[in-house]
Structure 1
């Protein structure tokens, strides 16, 4: 190589010498050519004038990387003004002048002082001067010249990367591009073949190839499988000089990986699998795992499992474990050893991302058979249903069977079962159960109005194995029986104005019933039959479970009657029909013109009767004195005279005589002496035993006795009521009315004991009480003919 460089240099020196030895005409032609290049010719059509130049040189060339023993000669500067007498001096300036390039100032010879590298700098621009030593003047104008460094092949090709990494899908066709590698050469590509690179493959055949011009690596074998070999290492060479002998070269390594494609279906490693499960396995219990192998990776190896056929496809299920790509077989429905002991399943494994390019290889799925054996376990009793609903009428008698629960042993042994109640759910012990057949019967009476529902729990236990037990809830609904009569919804405080008009509504009443009929409540209202035509009030049924109390006349008087009792009968519409009688107490009150109540109290009644406050005080004082005198008078009567009836019983003011052939002792039941002791107590309807009642609704209500009415008027009214009352005691009974208030120590003012045959009764004490009480005593007196 170095020999070639030297030969080239010598040839170039000879050429230079030849140029200098050519005749003047040749040099002149070269100068004209240089002037044409420099734009000084007349080719553009315009005459140019130039100063005559005497410089004689051409472009200089210099080889790079000179390694000879002497300094390298570049060329010679010369002017035709140089006579050879040494009078001229040559001076060199510009790139590298004095350091890289030196000139002999006497001869104009230029030499390279150092070794040059074209890759660092390919040309140098310098300026030359020729100076007269004596005058110091330039004999030639300063002129530029170029020294160009000629390239030699001193740089090998270099790749842009030391190691390349690439991938290509497996099963790719021949000629599939993988990657392109690139090498560069620092030598001059415009001079010779020093930078002309050719690529070749040193390692990686026969799997891959490389394009010599572009460096593109391609697949060279068809159907390369990743499952057989995944990684390849390919070595590529880049050589200059067109790949010829003597050229320089460089290499790089390319690591190529075959990427996976879904070209493999899943495959079960065995055709049959076996599992077992106890029949008591809960739903969702995993029984086992199966796995199909797929040599592909990532999503190409994802598998979906399913049950395609078999007698247990509805009993079992299979799910896919995404992490392990396994199929997990689970229980989908309850198992029963007694019904079926063996199940056969056909399970399939299918790729979830099949590649259509490889469908020609066959279906991307596989099949396997799975056998599942059911194991027997001792199970608790099973009820015929998960819960029971029993409906019972509330009037069912004790001991009656209201329902039955049924349980059986699901095992083959069919053990005997006994039944029992959970007493925590039947604290009142209303129900009981037959241990042998599960019949539930009643132990206590039912009352729907107290409890509508009873929720109890029944246990079924195997006699041979008490640990095997089960329970079931029983809901018992109590059905309603119409055993309650309707009644007023509340206590009504009813009043009527003294100035009320006929047909006026004074009260609206409603009713309630503890029963709950299926068709809903329907109530009817009417007056008690004996009061069907009431002189003062009427009852109007509104047909909506309410009734209105209406007035039947104009005006009411508190002086005559301050309170009215109105019995109202309420019926329901269920079977059997129930009814009750409610009595409304209607007070007579004073009202304004708008009907607003003003007063209903006793003081207002007395004032309205014309009694002054002073008169009321006088009456109270007289009553007090009477209560003091009467006990002493009563003691005197007891000392003077024997009683009419010798008995330890205190008959008080009730004398019962028998002048007829009446009911005998039964007549003593016709009159209640307790009423005389407190006439303000309400009288209940009492039937005479010797008289057949006309109607079952016969109810007699009387108004309160003491409403601050004149005493004489009150006594006459009571006598009239007894005369007209068909239920009053017989006529041989004497009813007296003299009430001094509760717990009066004077007891009764009756004059019965004063009517004796001796006629010694002293009435003088009455003269001090005033004529009004004398008249009262005369009215209370009896006739001897009335006694026996």
Structure 2
């Protein structure tokens, strides 16, 4: 490459050197009337200079030269003659001195102050600086006074082809879909050339491919790269290396060139169907495998990648479609066969499935190639396993009457060993579910018996767990829940639903309802409760009260007459017999307490005490309070008097020789028993109403609940 560049420079420089040697003589010998003057506007003069000349009013005088150029990169033993400055004021007497100033004056360009010859003393690079602006001036040699105003001119650096094209952004990478048609655009690359694009062909680039054919082509001027072969297959070759050349001088001989690389990657399209690695798969699975367990995996390979290789798996046929399912593993791109329902070796020992793998993303451009799917056969063999016993029912419901005899059979559970080599079964009760040990079970036949009495009113349901264990393998056990319902029998008599207390107004009317009562029974008959109410036989002809059965299974107590008086009798006790409808029926007697009270005219109870009845009617509440305060004051005075009198009679000093224990009073008399209780009625103290004699005569009869004249 350096040798070629040297030859090119010699070819270019030879005529130019000859031109520059003859140019000063031609310029100097030019007639005056053909020379350009500053007053007429020299091509190298500027408007500012013309304005200065018009001010000086100088005519027919000025600088004479042609456009100056200098080739870049020229190097020789002597400085390069760029041009010569000359003014028409110079008669050749050597009294004029030329002065040069501006860009590069004295460093790059040097002037002969006598002849006006300008030389380039340094090697120039147009790509570094394309032109230089300098100022020329002619002065008197002796006085240094300017003979003409200064004038600017330009020295242009002429380009030579000294820069090779460069790909500044290389190396390049591009992608194109596989199976693309011929001429599909891949990318374009651009090279730059530092040479002058407007002078010659130094920067005129032509592109070509040095390596990468016949797969790709490039347009020489635009550098657009296209596919040169149709239907390139990524699965055959995915990546191509293309070497691209850019050559200046329009691609002609002697031009400089630069290269870069382009890596073209074929992107995947879905042009391949999935394909199972084998047409037949064999799997085995124990019959006791847990539901949802993965039995095996099948895989359909796809030469495509990414989403184009994704496939979905399905079971499309076979005798195990209800027992097995297949799911797609998106990570491993295979199908996982799982168990949906329990297996039974004794029922069926093998299954055959037909599975299908199909692409999820189909490219319509290749759909005509055929179905993008594949099928395979899967055979699954069921292996025998030692299974636990199986109960005849998943749950049991037993019923037993609460009066069932001990050790009576209330039900039975059964279980079997499902294995071919059947093992005997033993039954037991999980005592964590029967802490009170109310039930037993026969270990051989599973009959459940009653161990303790039952009471439905305490617990209606009993939930226990029965365990079945294989005798040959105690680790094989099964459990089943057993719910035992206790059935009701009529073993509870009815009674009042609450503790009732009735109030009877003295001014009440005959037939008035005094109280309504209802009954309750702890039993639970199938047809509901129905109660019968009655009075004791000896009180059927009760002169004061009567009873009436209501439709809602309740009872109303009515007064037979009016004129009840608290002074005559304050409390009445009415025994009522309540019977149920059980088989056999049960009954009990409950006593209703009826109090006679004073009521207002509209029947509102005001007072039920006899003392309130005998108080003077005109006595106000304030008077009652005053009387009560006086009584309390008198009691306080009496207590104080007694206390002071007792302290007065007691000696103030206890003698030392007295034994305090001698002051203890001993009382060893025994009580009189029932005679004492009859002699002194303590109930009188508990109820002050007894003082006035309005209680029943026989208190013992009241305590027993049935007085002599209760009603």
Q: TM-score, normalised by structure 1?
A: 0.71
Q: 1:540 to 1:9 in 2, by over 3 A?
A: farther
Structure 2 gap ranges (5+): 1-7, 49-56, 617-673, 682-686, 702-707
Q: Does 2:79 correspond to 1:60?
A: no
1:577-592 matches, within 5 Å, as 577-588=585-596
Check whether the contact 2:134–2:154 (CA below 8 A) recurs between aligned residues.
Answer: yes
> Based on CA coordinates, which of the two structures has the bigger radius of gyration?
1
Q: CA deviation at 1:344?
A: 0.4
Check whether the contact 2:138–2:148 (CA below 8 A) recurs between aligned residues.
Answer: yes
Q: Indicate which of 263, 277, 281 corresponds to 1:273.
A: 281
Q: Secondary structure at the match of 1:596?
A: strand
Q: 1:39 to 1:232 in 2, by over 3 A?
A: same
Aligned match of 1:218: 226
Q: CA deviation at 1:196?
A: 0.7
Q: CA deviation at 1:23?
A: 3.3
Check whether the contact 1:93–1:126 (CA below 8 A) recurs between aligned residues.
Answer: yes
Q: 1:344 to 1:333 in 2, by over 3 A?
A: same
Aligned match of 1:596: 606
1:187-212 Cα shifts (integer Å, max 9, x gaps):
11111111111111112222222221
Aligned match of 1:486: 494
Aligned match of 1:338: 346
Q: Does 2:279 correspond to 1:241?
A: no
Q: CA deviation at 1:8?
A: 1.9
Distance of 1:67 and 1:242 partners within structure 2: 27
Aligned match of 2:557: 549
Q: Secondary structure at the match of 2:301?
A: coil
Q: 1:149 to 1:550 in 2, by over 3 A?
A: same
Aligned match of 2:10: 3
Q: 1:606 to 1:476 in 2, by over 3 A?
A: farther
Aligned match of 2:647: none
Check whether the contact 1:204–1:235 (CA below 8 A) recurs between aligned residues.
Answer: yes
Q: Indicate which of 571, 578, 584 corresponds to 1:570.
A: 578
Q: Indicate which of 82, 85, 95 corresponds to 1:87.
A: 95
Q: CA deviation at 1:341?
A: 0.1
1:493-532 matches, within 5 Å, as 493-523=501-531, 525-528=533-536, 531-532=539-540
Q: 1:421 to 1:2 in 2, by over 3 A?
A: closer
1:403-418 matches, within 5 Å, as 403-418=411-426
Distance of 1:197 and 1:283 partners within structure 2: 73
Aligned match of 2:632: none
Q: 1:429 to 1:60 in 2, by over 3 A?
A: closer
Aligned match of 2:410: 402
1:75-106 Cα shifts (integer Å, max 9, x gaps):
11112211111122222222112222122222
Check whether the contact 1:277–1:374 (CA below 8 A) recurs between aligned residues.
Answer: yes
1:569-617 Cα shifts (integer Å, max 9, x gaps):
334456655443322233445678752334269x99999xxxxxxxxxx
1:475-519 Cα shifts (integer Å, max 9, x gaps):
011122333221012333444454544444443423221012345
Distance of 1:129 and 1:97 partners within structure 2: 13
Distance of 2:412 and 2:582 partners within structure 1: 30
Q: Indicate which of 431, 453, 457 corresponds to 2:465.
A: 457
1:21-54 Cα shifts (integer Å, max 9, x gaps):
33344436999684799679xxxxxxxx984333
Distance of 2:264 and 2:546 partners within structure 1: 115
Q: Secondary structure at the match of 2:300?
A: coil
1:161-240 matches, within 5 Å, as 161-240=169-248
Q: Does 2:145 correspond to 1:121?
A: no
Structure 1 gap ranges (5+): 41-48, 608-673, 682-703, 719-724, 726-788
Q: Does 2:60 correspond to 1:74?
A: no
Check whether the contact 1:232–1:256 (CA below 8 A) recurs between aligned residues.
Answer: yes
Q: CA deviation at 1:383?
A: 0.9
Distance of 2:10 and 2:571 partners within structure 1: 159
Check whether the contact 1:524–1:543 (CA below 8 A) recurs between aligned residues.
Answer: no
Check whether the contact 1:526–1:540 (CA below 8 A) recurs between aligned residues.
Answer: no
Q: Secondary structure at the match of 1:224?
A: coil
Check whether the contact 2:38–2:61 (CA below 8 A) recurs between aligned residues.
Answer: no
Distance of 1:590 and 1:538 partners within structure 2: 21
**Greater Cα offset, 130-139 or 383-392:** 130-139
Distance of 1:680 and 1:425 partners within structure 2: 60
Aligned match of 1:657: none
Q: 1:21 to 1:526 in 2, by over 3 A?
A: farther
Q: Secondary structure at the match of 2:150?
A: strand
Distance of 2:301 and 2:366 partners within structure 1: 18
1:436-451 matches, within 5 Å, as 436-451=444-459
Check whether the contact 1:605–1:708 (CA below 8 A) recurs between aligned residues.
Answer: no
Check whether the contact 2:62–2:148 (CA below 8 A) recurs between aligned residues.
Answer: yes
**Greater Cα offset, 146-155 or 460-469:** 460-469
Q: CA deviation at 1:13?
A: 3.7
Q: CA deviation at 1:185?
A: 0.9
Q: Indicate which of 347, 372, 390 corresponds to 1:364.
A: 372
Check whether the contact 2:165–2:248 (CA below 8 A) recurs between aligned residues.
Answer: yes
Check whether the contact 2:39–2:61 (CA below 8 A) recurs between aligned residues.
Answer: no
Q: 1:27 to 1:423 in 2, by over 3 A?
A: closer
Q: 1:605 to 1:453 in 2, by over 3 A?
A: farther
Check whether the contact 1:524–1:571 (CA below 8 A) recurs between aligned residues.
Answer: yes
Check whether the contact 1:496–1:587 (CA below 8 A) recurs between aligned residues.
Answer: yes
Q: 1:588 to 1:397 in 2, by over 3 A?
A: same
**Greater Cα offset, 86-95 or 442-451:** 442-451
1:219-274 Cα shifts (integer Å, max 9, x gaps):
22222222222222221111111111111111112222222222222211111111
Distance of 1:338 and 1:152 partners within structure 2: 98
Q: CA deviation at 1:316?
A: 1.4
**RMSD (CA atoms):** 3.6
Distance of 1:3 and 1:28 partners within structure 2: 34
**Greater Cα offset, 18-27 or 95-104:** 18-27
Q: 1:604 to 1:254 in 2, by over 3 A?
A: same
Q: CA deviation at 1:9?
A: 2.5
Distance of 1:194 and 1:222 partners within structure 2: 37
Q: Relative contact order, CA 8 A, sep 6+: which one is greater?
A: 2
Q: Does 2:319 correspond to 1:303?
A: no
Aligned match of 2:166: 158
Check whether the contact 2:596–2:608 (CA below 8 A) recurs between aligned residues.
Answer: no
Distance of 2:679 and 2:342 partners within structure 1: 82
Aligned match of 2:648: none
1:613-632 Cα shifts (integer Å, max 9, x gaps):
xxxxxxxxxxxxxxxxxxxx
Q: Does 2:106 correspond to 1:98?
A: yes
Q: Secondary structure at the match of 2:147?
A: strand
Check whether the contact 2:39–2:60 (CA below 8 A) recurs between aligned residues.
Answer: no
Q: 1:559 to 1:369 in 2, by over 3 A?
A: same
Aligned match of 2:627: none
Q: Secondary structure at the match of 2:367?
A: helix
1:750-782 Cα shifts (integer Å, max 9, x gaps):
xxxxxxxxxxxxxxxxxxxxxxxxxxxxxxxxx
Q: CA deviation at 1:134?
A: 4.6
Check whether the contact 1:558–1:605 (CA below 8 A) recurs between aligned residues.
Answer: no
Q: Secondary structure at the match of 2:379?
A: strand
Q: Does 2:545 correspond to 1:537?
A: yes
Check whether the contact 1:200–1:237 (CA below 8 A) recurs between aligned residues.
Answer: yes
